[in-house]
Structure 1
């Protein structure tokens, strides 16, 4: 957090995210009560033509069973300087991202479910996402903490 306990504004989200991050995620099924955990790393590396390639890998444990997990996203320069247009690996739109205030809320409709993400910058080396997923197919809460790796 900033010295006054507030959010940390980020003038350019792509510059802020570039590099390697440690990742800790909890996943809770709010309807059924099951819980899981992901631990791993996320690397934001430069994309040819601008933007960042987000590659996450680690171990996901769900109901006592651990298995490798990974995902890839593309963080492209947004329409407004300092923001990003986040896309799935295949190019489909995911959400926008503007951390100029230190906080951002984004929605992503997925079939009949709605993903609502809140992004919070704590300081130069820590940020958090909280995704609430609701709809007929899912009722989940995903909380992810990122810490910059040395």
Structure 2
């Protein structure tokens, strides 16, 4: 898929609710899992915080046939230009930068001995994807997440 959709305003683009479908593959063991749920990008309501969005993901993660509830929260803060954002974990630790001005971006996040490399691709107003490749001494994973706008 070579047709990327440039995003001039990342926070404006992401705002709202998205259906999430994530495939998780452990390349070392061959194990597979799947997450299905929703992500809501809503206002970041923290006194004194920068302009941004609170990303709340919730759903069900099925790993080797066993379903479990799963959720995560991230913060997407305004970057140096409208097409960029600074992504943080919910506790404020840095995760990665994001620049969707061309509709595609690659970000790295070192975590202990592992490296997370994420590729973000926007396909249109209502569809985007992330592919995270996680490599290190204890991990060899690929996580592919498709987002489809609900509202």
Of 26, 30, 33, the residue aligned with 1:29 is 26
The CA distance in 1 between the partners of 2:115 and 2:141, in whole Å, is 10
Alignment of 1:69-148 (within 5 A): 69-148=70-149
State the SS of the aligned residue for 1:14: helix
User: Aligned partners of 2:22 and 2:82: how far apart in 1?
Assistant: 29
Determine which of 8, 13, 17 is the counterpart of 1:11. 8
- How far, CA to CA, are the matches of 1:117 and 1:61 in structure 2? 22
Could you tell me which runs of 5 or more consecutive residues in structure 2 were left unpaired when the two chains were aligned: none
Give the Cα–Cα distance (whole angstroms) in 2 for the partners of residues 101 and 136 of structure 1.
33
- TM-score scaled to structure 1, two decimals? 0.95
Question: Partners of 1:143 and 1:7 in 2: how far apart?
Answer: 17
- Secondary structure at the residue paired with 1:33? coil
Q: Deviations over 1:27-78 (max 9, x none)?
A: 0000000000000000000113410000000000001100100000000011
Q: Deviations over 1:99-149 (max 9, x none)?
A: 000000000000000000000000000000000000001000000000000
Q: Which runs of 4+ in 1 moved over 6 A?
A: none
CA distance in 1, matches of 2:3, 2:32: 30
Contact 2:10 2:82 in 1 (8 A): no
Measured in 2, the distance between the counterparts of 1:92 and 1:86 equals 9
State TM-score, norm by structure 2: 0.94
Question: Distance between the aligned counterparts of 2:97 and 2:12, measured in 1?
Answer: 16
Deviation at 1:81, TM superposition (A): 3.3
Match of 2:37 in 1: 40
Q: Secondary structure at the match of 1:122?
A: strand
1:12, distance to aligned residue in structure 2 (A) = 1.0
